[in-house]
Amino acid sequence: MKVKATTKDGKMTIYLAGELDHNAAREAMFEIERQIDEKLPRDCVIDMSGLAFMDSSGIAVILKTYKRMHESGGRLWVENVPKQPMRVLDAAGIERIIRITILSE
């Protein structure tokens, strides 16, 4: 699991790559919070294009990041979601809370 972040004009993009399961989630969450605390972005995008696998542990990571951004009045959305993670987000009904765009292939 890899977490990378870039910030431009107050908007942070967090790139997740690899497999986001329970084994990877704690470290991923720690890194996301560290980046947000350091850069204090206005808005935040999670880019999932590099994600090979995700389960419900990833949902908790997204929801926690959403809460974190919401507290500071910022927005969060999820972009470039590959098929398998998208099926997980669909099954959990995350789109009712967070804007999601699919990875076009």
Residues forming contacts to ligand ATP in the complex (CB under 6 A) are 56-57, 60
Query: In terms of CB distance, is 59 or 76 closer to ligand ATP?
Result: 59
What character string, x for contact with other proteins (CB under 8 A) and - otherwise, covers 24-53?
A: -xx--x-----------------------x
Query: In terms of CB distance, is 57 or 101 closer to ligand ATP?
Result: 57
Q: How many residues bind other proteins (CB under 8 A)?
A: 22
Query: In terms of CB distance, is 4 or 30 closer to other proteins?
Result: 30
Closest CA to 78 of 23, 1, 14: 14
Q: Does 88 bind other proteins (CB under 8 A)?
A: yes
Minimum CB–partner distance for residue 81 and other proteins (Å): 13
* Residue 101 φ then ψ, to 5°: -120, 145
